[in-house]
Structure 1
């Protein structure tokens, strides 16, 4: 996927999730995570509306959690199938944040 094909999206944060609603208030993208002790979170769910798939939005959602956890000095357990594949595919980007 070329960088110009990626739709940049700003997400809202609510509790342990980042999400985006459309103009009608329907949720169109979401990532959730749950605390696992003091130093880790489990990234357990990523959702992107079918109309938006293939535009890099799920990747941005995962990266938003990564950014937040780096600030909080926490590690991530990528339990969500999408996040798990992403962490495996780009170890140079995620090895510092992935829980061992």
Structure 2
């Protein structure tokens, strides 16, 4: 299997899991996906069949009480299945549980927070980052 890349591309080889080839329904994938924080790599990772298929890249300034999210990545073959949203929810819930604030540079995370305003309190008021949470009503959710 090929490790995930930011750019990815192409069709999934026949040797890849059926999920990568689009042979598994979304509801089956949801139960087969694991989300975890990987402090060694500075990422939150979505893992399917032992393969990292998506991640949020983060940085924690030494001794600080905030975490900086730089971007969210999902392999092209796995997009449109709600992986990025599950990653963001997991990551924001983790920040909340650890009493950390968020400095955000990821537009996907900003849109997620706009749609889930209960997370807006996590955004650091002094250092919010460049991806500002849009001031709008939440979009209709399907979760």
TM-score under structure 2 length normalisation: 0.56
Gaps of 5+ in 1: none
Task: Go from structure 1 to structure 2 and tell me whether the alpha carbon gap of 1:51 and 1:34 turns closer, same or farther (over 3 Å shift).
Answer: same
1:30 aligns with 2:33: no
Within the alignment, does 1:95 sit opposite 2:131 as a pair?
A: no
Tell me which residue corresponds to 2:97. 71
* Distance change (3 Å), C-alpha of 1:64 and 1:91: closer
- Picking from 22, 33, 38, the partner of 1:14 is 38
Give the Cα–Cα distance (whole angstroms) in 2 for the partners of residues 61 and 14 of structure 1: 12
Structure 1 equivalent of residue 70 of structure 2: 44
Larger radius of gyration: 2
- Give RMSD over aligned pairs: 2.1
Unaligned ranges ≥5, structure 2: 1-25, 126-143
* Deviation per residue, 1:1-36 (Å, 9 max, x gap): xxxx6653321332131213443x543111121114
TM-score by length of 1: 0.76
Structure with higher strand content: 1
**Larger fraction in helix:** 1
